[in-house]
Amino acid sequence: MSDDLVTEYAGDGTWSEESEWDYADLEADGEGEAHIAVPTLAVVGRPNVGKSTLVNRIIGRREAVVEDIPGVTRDRVSYEANWAGRRFLVQDTGGWEPDAKGLQQAVARQAELAMGTADAILLVVDAVVGATTTDEAVARVLRRSKTPVILVANKVDDGRTESEVAALWSLGLGQPYSVSATHGRGTGDLLDEVLEKLPETPREGIPGGGPRRVALVGKPNVGKSSLLNKLSGDERSVVHNVAGTTVDPVDSIVELGGRPWRFVDTAGLRKRVSHASGAEFYASLRTKSAIEAAEVAILLIDAHEPITEQDLRVLSMVADTGRALVIAFNKWDLVDEDRRLMLDKEVDRDLVRVPWAQRVNISAHTGRAVAKLVPALDTALESWDKRIPTGRLNTWLKEVVAATPPPMRGGRLPRIMFATQASTRPPTFVLFTTGFLEAGYRRFIERRLREEFNFDGSPIRVSVRVREKRDRKGR
C-alpha cells in the first residue's frame, strides 16, 4: 500500500476506476522487524578531551551534545553506528575523574559501568595536553580489563602534533591512533581497527529479537531518572536535586516482567525548541528524536503540583508522533485528599486530547506502584500493534453506519463504501466514501472503534478518501 493512502483527505482525493477500490487486507508494515543485538563500543576518558565530538564523527551525524564547556555529557548515551556494513552501538560517557565528588562522582560511575558492559573500549586522550595523572589512572583500570581497548590520541589536527603522540605508548595500552574528531583526520583507520576488536555479537545478547523501546519524558526534575534507577535497581542515570541534570537521552536495558525493555531517560523540556539555545537546544532535539525512536512513552507528571504548560507541551510532542502512551503521576506519596480532587478536575480539563492513555499513580522515590507500569505498557503496546481483519472491520462498520448514518453534506448523504486498516503503529484506518465525512463523524467512528476493538493506550487515526465520479466523455 502506498504511503499516500493514509494521507488526510484535503479535498483532492479522486478515484475514476472501480479497481482502485479493491484493497485486500494489508500485511504488517515492517515496523515490527526483529532488532538484532549488536556489540557496543564505549568511548571513555577524562572531561573535555572530545569524546562527544568523536562519537558524532563515528556515527556520521550530530547526535551527542557538544559544547566547549567541560562536563556537558553526564550519562551513558548509546547511538547506532554503521561502518563498512557492520552495525554497532557507540556509547558516549561522562568524563572519568578518579577523585570526583558529588555530581562528578556519579558521572564517573557511569563511565565505569560502561567499561564493565561494553564489548570494546575507546580511551580518548588529548594529544596536545599529553597523558595526565587522570589518563594514567584510567589506563591502570583498563589494563586489568578483559575487554579490548583502543587508545585514541585526539586533537591531532596536523603533522606538528603527531610527534607528541609517541609519548602515549607509556600508558601501556598499545599503539595510540592519531585522529582529529573535529576534522575527521584518521577516523577511517580508527574505525577499521574498531571492527577488528569488536565481536560479531555482544557478550550479553538480547533474547527474543530485541526489547520494546520506551521513552521516559516529562518536564525537568519530575523524577524520570529516579524512576529509571528504581526500575533497574541500579544507578543507571545520574540523579541530582539540580533540575536538568540529564542532558542527553540515556539508553538502558532493564529487565521487567521477565523480559528486557530498552528505556531512554530524556532531558526535561524547559522551553520550546525554537526558544532554547546551546546544549538545551540540542537536548530538546535529542528528546524529540528519542520519542520518535520509541514505541511507547511514559509521560511523568508531578502529581502534587498543578499540571503545567510544560507537561502539555511534552504530551503534544508524544501525541503528534503517534506513539503509545502511559501517563505516570509521580510523587503520589505527597498527594493529599484535596490535591486528588483538584487533580481529577485538571485531568478532565487538560488531558482531554488523550483520554485513551493508560494512567498509573506512582512514587519513583519510594517505589510505590511502579510494578503497575509493566501491565500498562503491555496494554498500550498491544493496542499499538493491533490489526483488525478487513472482513470483521467492514461487517462492524456496516452496522454502525446503519444505526447512525453520517450527516448530509451539500444535500447528499455520503456513503462509506469500504474500510481497511492501512497500517499499525499507530493503527490507521482509511474509509473510502462517496462524499466527505465531517470531522465530528470521524471522531464518532474513532470512539466506536475504541469501544468495539479496545485500543486502550494507543492513538488511532481515521482518514477519509473520497471517490468522485469523473465525466468519462471528456477522455
Domains assigned to the chain:
3-28+387-474 (3.30.300.20), 40-197 (3.40.50.300), 211-384 (3.40.50.300)
369 is in an annotated binding site: no
Give dist(CA 128, CA 135) in Å, integer.
13
- Number of Cβ within 10 Å of residue 379's Cβ equals 19
Give dist(CA 222, CA 363) in Å, integer.
11
Most confident of 13-27, 32-46, 240-254: 32-46
Most confident of 30-39, 99-108, 273-282, 285-294: 285-294
**Taking residues 66-92, what's their average pLDDT?**
66
**Taking residues 29-57, what's their average pLDDT?**
73
Q: What is the pTM of this model?
A: 0.59
pLDDT band at 235 (very low <50, low <70, confident <90, very high): low
271 is in an annotated binding site: no
Cell of 4: 499516500
The fraction of the chain above a pLDDT of 70, given in percent, is 72
Cell of 250: 540515556
pLDDT band at 263 (very low <50, low <70, confident <90, very high): confident
Running DSSP on this structure, what letter comes out for residue 372?
G
- In 3D space, the residue among 62, 42, 189, 179 whose CA is nearest the CA of residue 116 turns out to be 42
Cell of 423: 497500517
343 is in an annotated binding site: no
Most confident of 33-37, 144-148, 158-162, 400-404: 400-404
13 is in an annotated binding site: no
Q: What is the pLDDT, as a whole number, of residue 294?
A: 86
Whether pLDDT at 28 is above 50: no
78 is in an annotated binding site: no
Which CB contacts under 8 angstroms, 24+ apart, belong to 444-453? 444/404, 445/397, 445/400, 448/400, 450/356, 452/396, 453/386, 453/388
Coil, strand or helix at 469: coil
Q: Which amino acid is at 435?
A: G
- In 3D space, the residue among 110, 125, 41, 49 whose CA is nearest the CA of residue 248 turns out to be 110
Whether pLDDT at 35 is above 60: no
Cell of 328: 505516570
Q: Is 400 exposed, middle or buried (0-12, 13-18, 19+ CB in 10 A)?
A: middle
Give dist(CA 384, CA 424) in Å, integer.
7
49 is in an annotated binding site: yes
51 is in an annotated binding site: yes
Q: What is the pLDDT, as a whole number, of residue 98?
A: 55
Q: Mean pLDDT in the chain?
A: 78
138 is in an annotated binding site: no
156 is in an annotated binding site: yes
Lowest mean pLDDT among 284-293, 364-373, 436-445: 284-293
- In 3D space, the residue among 420, 419, 412 whose CA is nearest the CA of residue 433 turns out to be 419
User: By the 8 A CB rule, do 181 and 187 touch?
Assistant: yes
220 is in an annotated binding site: yes
Give dist(CA 344, CA 322) in Å, integer.
25
Coil, strand or helix at 439: helix
146 is in an annotated binding site: no
**Taking residues 460-473, what's their average pLDDT?**
75
46 is in an annotated binding site: yes
Residue 134 main-chain phi, psi, to 5 deg: -65, -45
Most confident of 53-67, 228-242, 361-375: 361-375
pLDDT band at 284 (very low <50, low <70, confident <90, very high): low
**Taking residues 276-283, what's their average pLDDT?**
49
219 is in an annotated binding site: yes
344 is in an annotated binding site: no
Give dist(CA 396, CA 182) in Å, integer.
60
Cell of 10: 484535503
Give dist(CA 381, CA 42) in Å, integer.
31
93 is in an annotated binding site: yes
188 is in an annotated binding site: no
Whether pLDDT at 246 is above 60: no
331 is in an annotated binding site: yes
pLDDT band at 338 (very low <50, low <70, confident <90, very high): very high
462 is in an annotated binding site: no
User: By the 8 A CB rule, do 45 and 124 touch?
Assistant: yes
Complete DSSP assignment for 124-142 = EEETTT---HHHHHHHHHH
218 is in an annotated binding site: yes
92 is in an annotated binding site: yes
- Beta bridge partner(s), residue 359: 327
Residue 143 main-chain phi, psi, to 5 deg: -65, -25
pLDDT band at 245 (very low <50, low <70, confident <90, very high): very low
Coil, strand or helix at 361: strand
The fraction of the chain above a pLDDT of 90, given in percent, is 43
Whether pLDDT at 205 is above 90: no
Count of H-run helices and E-run strands, the chain: 12, 15
221 is in an annotated binding site: yes
Is residue 42 left, alpha or beta, with left meaning phi > 0 and alpha meaning psi from -120 to 50? Answer: beta
Cα end-to-end distance, the chain, whole Å: 27
Whether pLDDT at 124 is above 80: yes
pLDDT band at 266 (very low <50, low <70, confident <90, very high): confident
Q: What is the pLDDT, as a whole number, of residue 398?
A: 96
**Taking residues 351-360, what's their average pLDDT?**
95
296 is in an annotated binding site: no
**Taking residues 248-258, what's their average pLDDT?**
72
Most confident of 6-20, 217-231, 267-281: 217-231
210 is in an annotated binding site: no
**Taking residues 445-467, what's their average pLDDT?**
94
Helices (H), 198-277: 224-232
48 is in an annotated binding site: yes
266 is in an annotated binding site: yes
User: By the 8 A CB rule, do 453 and 460 touch?
Assistant: no
Q: What is the pLDDT, as a whole number, of residue 192?
A: 95
Q: Name the more confident of 71 and 78.
A: 78
User: By the 8 A CB rule, do 134 and 108 touch?
Assistant: no
Chain-centroid distance of CA 171 in Å reads 38
95 is in an annotated binding site: yes
pLDDT band at 60 (very low <50, low <70, confident <90, very high): confident
Q: Peptide bond preceding 414: is omega within 30 degrees of 0, i.e. cis?
A: no
Q: Tens digit of pLDDT for each residue in 397-429?
A: 999 999 999 999 888 899 999 999 998 889 999
